[in-house]
Structure 1
Amino acid sequence: MPSNNQRNNELEFTPTFGTQLHIGVAYGKFDHYRLIDCIRLCEYAPDETSDKAYMLGLEEGGLNSAEALMLARYYMFNQVYFHRLRRIYDYHLRKFFLKWIGSIGLDRTDPFLGLMDLTDNDVLHSMQECISDNNSELKGLAERIVCRNHFKDVYTIKDDDIQSNPTIIEDLEKDLITEFSDEQICICKTDKGPGNCNFPVIKTDGEVVASTNLSSVLQHIPKIKLDTIYADRTIVENVLTWLNTNMESYKKGERP
């Protein structure tokens, strides 16, 4: 979408088409031909305190396509980029990577000094070597990814939970780690806004107005908030039992 601020004017098209093509979903489809055809340069002041400046905007006829793009972006993030399995693999990959770059001599404070010379094949090959070496301290971390021995999701915080107790995820995180271990429990927190939905639109009479003044859809693109509790497979049943026993107390803001 046209993203305008004091520093730059740019088109921020999310990679919805590429993602839906490679993973076989339809969330990323929208009428990009219509959207591109309606892009125009216009003079616009985003607020009363700003001077008018040239910015990228849309003709009013492209507004529905812009709405479709923002909704496609929301669905793609919600269903794909923030999928429960993708997030836990992110967690395991970070854990492996932070230890691995130290073991191969990269400076953790500035890993980019040598990181750009590495390829995906280098990392995957190293994981296989770690799995084959019973003495490697990275063996378990590599197996999480290569052998699909990832943590299992045991609970996702719901909107009703947060409305009942705004600090429920923090309370659960502290007590679960105390009850079990930070090596066996992971809480992945995702909190992402809808992005910049406010851009100039050129109406049919030539007036330039904010997109959110014309579109109730853009006013209400929801924020994505996903807080999911994951546990090592060896303790999943114990964690589920603990949650079933104590969850109602946490919803009331009462820590047992």
Structure 2
Amino acid sequence: MFKNKQGILKFIFTANIFLVIIISYHEETVMTMHIRDAVLGFIEINEKERKIIDLYEFQRLRYIKQLALTYYVYPGALHSRFEHSLGVMELASRIFNRLCVKRKKILRHNFSQIGLSIKEAKQILRLSALLHDVGHLPFSHVGEEVLPEGVKHEHVTIEIIKYLKPILDKTFFEGITEVIINILSKEETVKNLTILKGIISGSLDADRMDYLLRDSLYCGVEYGRYDWQRIIDCLDIIESESGGYDLCIEHGGVHALESMILARFYMFAQVYCHKTRKIYDYYLSHVMRERYNIFVKNLTDITRYNDISVLNFIENIVREGNNHLYEFAHRIKFRKQHSVIFETSDFCDLSQLINAKKVFDTLQEEFSDYEFILRETRGKIHNFLIKKPQKKENVGEKFYVLRNNRPYILTDESLIIRNIPKNFLNTRIYVAYKDKKYERMKESEIRKLIKKAEEIGRSFDNGKKI
């Protein structure tokens, strides 16, 4: 990685001199192919992109479920990170094409400052989108719990892209790997690449746009649907404080954007944080923590594993029968999950969290024959800036709406987005037999515990016992 912006700008410009010779020579010979996608229709790829898609590191994504074990709840949720990555590449391209229709002259000048043409910038964007999830662990986000503190799948992605540098640079042009890393990393991005970074990983990006649509379709629910064509049609660019360009939206697209944010909330409530899905995440994290602690030594070793290897490991545990992980493996294989007997609202506050913890402690004391699990579920609905006069510093992304060609803060224009909480947070208490671990609890016992938990919860309400 380059140590400063000047270094990368110089490198990109130097690489572009080489690009002019090679790409112009082959421009007419590049063939395109089409992949039929259930969400977006046909996705077009070129020969060079096909070579990257054919790599083992990318093909591995076929065997990593987008939503872990959510198919235990929604049987159709068997889609993978593979098709999602293709979808993000396609949506990123459509966004870029639309911006070029509106602001091609500005974008051409912006990229020319670092020696890139519009065509080259688009290719960099497509590759960045294609590879943005290549570092996902088995069962997607569940697997991240086995990584060292502070390390996420994005860090693994960067390491894998570095590993692929010889192939990427040879297939496209020398230096493209560093540009992709600059776009995908959490570090400060070269100002002229800010717009590309925003298309892939901003508050309104191709990643979110794809997974909401895709997850909704494969789960068989309507919660994640929104007018994505209208959003793309209304996207525009605005000069950022850093000197580059950020995405913004025309006023006519605000309602479509509102529907996307609401869709994100509904998907969190009904799919991503579903009570059954989350308890299986708990079981999986225990199994994977034991099996994959080697990731701490070398992050690129993650490419050796996928959902199938984890499921085979679980199968072996069940077959052997004497492993200390047997309970978790057995529950996963035979779908013998704990039952929910208490939960807070979807936007619970500190008092509700304290209440839930006290309910949990009381139940453990009074019902020693049962095993109780307390689980918090968190998620980010949006990160748009909301101005609060009572606070000295407001936190969030300044996303603008263009109304009469003048920029306005989104949350000043949208009452809905201004009032919906940024964060999803709820807490649940699960229960199962302590001795008869692998038997489903009787409905009568579950109802009895639900009633008791509610009584205990009410006794702590309004600060009576807190």
- Please give the range of the TM-score, normalised by the shorter of the 2 chains: 0.7 to 0.9
Distance change (3 Å), C-alpha of 1:84 and 1:35: same
Alignment of 1:129-148 (within 5 A): 129-148=316-335
TM-score by length of 2: 0.46
CA distance in 1, matches of 2:234, 2:455: 56
Aligned to 2:373: 186
Task: Please say which structure displays the higher CA radius of gyration.
Answer: 2
Post-superposition CA distance 1:214-255 (Å, at most 9, x none): 111111223422211101245863744652553332225455
Aligned to 1:219: 418
SS of 2:304's equivalent in the other structure is coil
Q: Indicate which of 73, 79, 83 corresponds to 2:264.
A: 73
Letter in 1 for 2:383: N
CA distance in 1, matches of 2:356, 2:298: 32
Contact 2:331–2:337, Cα closer than 8 Å, also in 1: yes
CA distance in 1, matches of 2:373, 2:353: 19
Q: Which moved more, 1:9-18 or 1:140-149?
A: 9-18
Distance change (3 Å), C-alpha of 1:44 and 1:202: farther
SS of 1:67's equivalent in the other structure is helix
Aligned to 2:401: 201
Contact 1:98–1:108, Cα closer than 8 Å, also in 2: no
Letter in 1 for 2:409: A
Q: Which moved more, 1:194-203 or 1:29-38?
A: 194-203
Structure 1: unaligned runs, 5 residues or longer = 46-50
Alignment of 1:169-180 (within 5 A): 169-178=356-365
User: Per residue, is there more helix in 1 or in 2?
Assistant: 2
SS of 2:231's equivalent in the other structure is helix
Distance change (3 Å), C-alpha of 1:220 and 1:193: farther
Q: Indicate which of 78, 97, 112 corresponds to 2:299.
A: 112
Contact 1:161–1:168, Cα closer than 8 Å, also in 2: no
User: Per residue, is there more strand in 1 or in 2?
Assistant: 1
CA distance in 2, matches of 1:245, 1:123: 41
SS of 2:263's equivalent in the other structure is helix
Aligned to 2:428: 228
TM-score by length of 1: 0.80
Aligned: 1:123 with 2:323: no
Query: Once the 2 structures are TM-superposed, how far is the Cα of residue 194 of structure 1 from its aligned partner?
Result: 2.6
Contact 1:92–1:150, Cα closer than 8 Å, also in 2: no
CA distance in 1, matches of 2:303, 2:348: 43
Contact 2:347–2:426, Cα closer than 8 Å, also in 1: no
Contact 2:343–2:429, Cα closer than 8 Å, also in 1: yes
Distance change (3 Å), C-alpha of 1:52 and 1:178: farther
Contact 1:16–1:76, Cα closer than 8 Å, also in 2: yes
Post-superposition CA distance 1:157-200 (Å, at most 9, x none): 2489969766212323344445567x922112124343123411
Distance change (3 Å), C-alpha of 1:218 and 1:176: same
Q: Which moved more, 1:193-202 or 1:210-219?
A: 193-202
Distance change (3 Å), C-alpha of 1:115 and 1:163: closer
Contact 1:189–1:226, Cα closer than 8 Å, also in 2: yes
Cα RMSD (Å): 3.2
Alignment of 1:34-113 (within 5 A): 34-43=230-239, 54-101=245-292, 106-107=293-294, 109-110=296-297, 112=299
Percent sequence identity is 25
CA distance in 2, matches of 1:160, 1:23: 24
Post-superposition CA distance 1:198-217 (Å, at most 9, x none): 411111x2111111111111
Distance change (3 Å), C-alpha of 1:241 and 1:201: closer
Contact 1:152–1:233, Cα closer than 8 Å, also in 2: no
User: Between Structure 1 and Structure 2, how many residues are aligned?
Assistant: 241
Q: Which structure is richer in relative contact order (CA contacts within 8 A, separation 6 or more)? A: 1
Q: Indicate which of 231, 251, 256 corresponds to 2:461.
A: 251
Aligned: 1:155 with 2:349: no
CA distance in 2, matches of 1:241, 1:67: 38
Structure 2: unaligned runs, 5 residues or longer = 1-94, 96-187, 200-204, 386-398, 436-440
